[in-house]
Amino acid sequence: MLRVRFFLLIAGLVATTFSTAYADEPSRDDDVFGEESREDDMFGGGEDSDSDAEARLDNKLEEKDDLTQIGGFLYLQLNYSTYDEGEPADYALQSPALFDLYMDSRPTERIRAYARGRIVQQLTAGSSAFDSFDFDFADSQPASNTQASLDQLWLKFDIARTVYVTVGKQPVRWGTGRFWNPTDFLQAQVRDPLAVFDTRQGVSLLKLHMPFEELGWNLYGALNLQELATPRDIAGALRAEFLFDTTEISLSAAARNAGLKQFGLDFSTAFFDLDVRGEVAVSNKVQTAFFEGTLSDDFAESMLNAEYDIEEFPTLVGRKNDWIVQAVFGAELAIKYSDEDSLILGLEYFFNDAGYDESSIYPWLIAVASPDIQASLNSINYGDGRLSNFDTASSFKPLYLGRHYLALSAILMAPGSWNNTTLVFSGLCNLSDKSLIVRGDYRIRVLTQLDLGAYITVHTGNTGEFRMNIPVSNDTDGVALAAQLVDIGASLRVSF
């Protein structure tokens, strides 16, 4: 059972890192607290003839229906990946389907209620990248092919038209980086930078927003309800956004349980033809378990067989007193190649003080995130403390494993006569372990509302984060994790 869960954990973590994204419904946030009243039009008075009264009643009913909108989208995919081990004919076909349904209601101009549910259904039987290998999963219970969740549930209103309150599970994203956002303090889940759009679920917050419209400034305060179990767990964040001509600067601060403190600065500005952006985050009292040392060649096999030898474990490092720095700097350049068309080129660098210089320790980071393995290790006095004193689940954090990253992007929107077509090229390199992932996306809109998409991803470079390979030298002649080579996929999306 330990062996099975170890494999399943590896599969889930890696698949989550490079999963294809889903879409979001059109936003109505721009006019949430608009000044124009809709009640006067709906319930306007005055003396009317019978025909005028009937017509006005029809208009009222139509306007009444518009107060609550129901919509959503359906997103279908078919994905296939190849590996450097096994037979291509045996690799799994995955077809995740996503259905989003939302209800957006505005009883008055100053109140808005929103709910969005999400259902993810696996249409094919292939759900694991490891189905093609000779491992025994007979003892494991397959996960349900259908998963339902409540993505958002929030209520907005204002106090004296000065302070705007949003309470509930709501979307939030801080920071200016396209690929990395270390100042996104309120969102615990890492955003997939290669995703077509952000698929992370909302965060339970009590958020206050005070705008200064004449200056273009905004102040935010947020109480984190997601981690609030007792008054002792109170945690929150503050953010201030300042606009100076074409430059926007934001300052952020957050506090969490166990004394975690975070401070951040992000900016975006125009420098000649360049759009320049960046963000810097510093954190103290971080609960993540950090490690030093190397692993033996047969580490994976030892863990699978539950043969623990404390001498081969990396050393647990406590960095709770350190100030950990993470910084992003990027720029975009729009190159006009015709009167109506431009090529947008992007470059982004990420320094991650919480990362590692080389990849040999990655299998250990995966292992300690396993509840089964962690329970066994907690019975051992691990160096100067126990693993239970740290957050081991966040030790393996895809896209934040290395110390240095570089990303490149190129975007062509409606090139030439292809007015309904978008081409996106992206490349991510973990400079610390020299692994690389390159992806190309093609999207076209047909039949007015139907979007067709296709992508291809190539994993190359050294063995590392983007080309993970964990060998096992046992009688099965198998591998614990085979390196991905090429991923291909297609998608259909329709909104309603």
Residue pLDDT, tens place only, 167-200: 999 999 999 999 999 999 998 888 888 877 777 8
Task: Kindly indicate the confidence band of residue 228, based on its pLDDT and cuts at 50, 70 and 90.
Answer: confident
The answer to whether 187 touches 203, Cβ cutoff 8 Å, is yes
Q: What is the pLDDT of residue 182?
A: 95
Q: List the one residue out of 177, 189, 253 whose CA is nearest residue 406.
A: 177
Q: Buried b / exposed e across 463-496, counting CB within 10 Å, b at 16+?
A: bbbbbbbbbbeeeeebbbbbbbbebebbbebebe
Task: Kindly indicate the confidence band of residue 473, based on its pLDDT and cuts at 50, 70 and 90.
Answer: very low
Q: What is the pLDDT of residue 306?
A: 56
Task: Kindly indicate the confidence band of residue 80, based on its pLDDT and cuts at 50, 70 and 90.
Answer: very high
pLDDT, tens digit, 9 for 90 and up, residues 108-156: 999 999 999 999 998 988 654 433 333 332 333 444 688 899 999 999 9
Residue showing tokens 């299998």: 363
> If you average pLDDT over every residue of the chain, what do you get?
80
49 vs 68, more confident: 68
Three-state secondary structure call for residue 377:
helix
The answer to whether 127 touches 143, Cβ cutoff 8 Å, is yes
Handedness of CA 25, 412, 193, 322 (dihedral sign): negative
Average confidence (pLDDT) over 418-445:
95
How many residues in total does the chain contain?
A: 496
Q: What is the pLDDT of residue 395?
A: 86
Percentage of the chain lying above the pLDDT 70 cut: 73
pLDDT, tens digit, 9 for 90 and up, residues 5-62: 444 444 444 443 434 433 343 343 433 333 333 333 322 344 444 445 555 545 554 5
Give the Å distances, CA to CA, from 43 to 37, 65, 108.
11, 14, 12
